[in-house]
Amino acid sequence: MDAGTTRFAAAGARPLPARLAWQARIFGAYFVQFLKMRLAYRMDFLVDTLAVGFSLLIQLAVLGVLFGKVSALDGWNFPQVLFIYGFSLVPLGLFNLVSVNLYGFADEYLIGGRFDRVLLRPVGSLAQVIFESFNVSGLNEILLGLAVMVHAGRELGWKLGAGFGVQDLMVLAVLAPGAALVYLGVFLALTTVSFWFEDKMGLAPPVYNLIRFSRYPITIYSLPVRVFLTFVLPFAWVAFYPAAWFVGGPHLAKVALLTPLVGAVVFGGAVLLWRRGVRNYVSTGS
């Protein structure tokens, strides 16, 4: 631009593919940076991995004990429940992978004023916050979830091509990220609240505890609870509904396909809330 012009280059002149490629490059670079930093603290990584794996094994054991006594849960047999459980771990892992910065958001970004720096960069503010840090132990959950699903599938007598086709794999590849969007949307909405209220604690921890209810077939709950988990706090969509594609009846299987839509709506709503929140950001006095 020559010195005479007083107008900056036109807005959004770039085509979408170029924009997306640029974003992908940046977040790739963020990820590489993150790994470099992580490798400097190798022990942490190891401990994280062990801790998460251990706690998941305990939860599985509990489930095993539970089903040692009752062989079926309201019409669902053990392998089916196990499959739902295994499925629930995949979106949870995806979500955990990218959500670390949401929990500490108020402390790390708002109160410390670190959000100033985020806003000074020509990249989406939410994307920066999400991609600035990763929780690698999310990968454990994903792997464990896949293993549990494979195991449950075997118990159900599935084989690749018989009972579980390539189509199912593709559906899994769409539903799991869709379900992760539900998580992300819910917790993003809760995080956004800190743009208006200074309170550090927030609602995220109690809500996080409710996640465990989503790992069982929701038909075991009373109607109000089912309505609540489907429409209000839509955790039924993070495991039960999508997993029903594989283990539910034909009716539920259709409902399962709505998961990405629900994810998009919940996450989209949270993003709108975030944008309003950013306009409310007040930085710090010094």
Which spans of this chain sit near ligand ATP (rule: CB under 6 A)?
282-285
Q: Which of other proteins, ligand ATP, none does residue 12 bind to, with CB < 5 to 8 Å depending on kind?
A: other proteins
Nearest distance, CB of residue 280 and ligand ATP, angstroms: 11
Q: Locate tokens 């900056």: which residue? A: 8
Q: Is 120 in the site for other proteins (CB under 8 A)?
A: yes
Identity of the residue, 149 or 273, whose beta carbon is nearer to other proteins in the bound complex? 273
Q: Which of ligand ATP, other proteins, none does residue 159 bind to, with CB < 5 to 8 Å depending on kind?
A: none
Q: Which of other proteins, ligand ATP, none does residue 121 bind to, with CB < 5 to 8 Å depending on kind?
A: other proteins
Identified binder of other proteins from the candidate list 15, 16, 36, 42, rule CB under 8 A: 36
How many angstroms separate the CA atoms of 153 and 87, rounded?
11
How many angstroms separate the CA atoms of 266 and 236, rounded?
13
Contact region with other proteins (CB under 8 A), list: 33-41, 166-174, 252-260, 261-269? 33-41
Contact 185/269 with Cβ under 8 angstroms?
A: yes
How many angstroms separate the CA atoms of 86 and 82, rounded?
6
Retrieve residue 222's tokens. Answer: 């009373």
Identity of the residue, 10 or 166, whose beta carbon is nearer to other proteins in the bound complex? 10
Q: Which of other proteins, ligand ATP, none does residue 17 bind to, with CB < 5 to 8 Å depending on kind?
A: none
How many angstroms separate the CA atoms of 149 and 73, rounded?
18
Q: Which of ligand ATP, other proteins, none does residue 113 bind to, with CB < 5 to 8 Å depending on kind?
A: other proteins
What residue is closest to ligand ATP based on CB? 285
CB atoms within 10 A of CB 31: 13
Q: Is 283 in the site for other proteins (CB under 8 A)?
A: yes
Contact region with other proteins (CB under 8 A), list: 26-34, 146-154, 177-185, 200-208? 26-34
Contact region with other proteins (CB under 8 A), list: 44-52, 55-63, 92-100, 118-126? 118-126
How many angstroms separate the CA atoms of 138 and 240, rounded?
20
Nearest distance, CB of residue 283 and ligand ATP, angstroms: 5
Identity of the residue, 37 or 66, whose beta carbon is nearer to other proteins in the bound complex? 37
Q: Is 26 in the site for other proteins (CB under 8 A)?
A: yes
Binding map of other proteins across residues 225-264, x = CB under 8 A, - = no contact: ----------------------------------------
Nearest distance, CB of residue 156 and ligand ATP, angstroms: 57
Q: Which of ligand ATP, other proteins, none does residue 280 bind to, with CB < 5 to 8 Å depending on kind?
A: other proteins
C-alpha dist (Å) from residue 124 to 25, 118, 128, 183, 235: 14, 9, 6, 20, 27
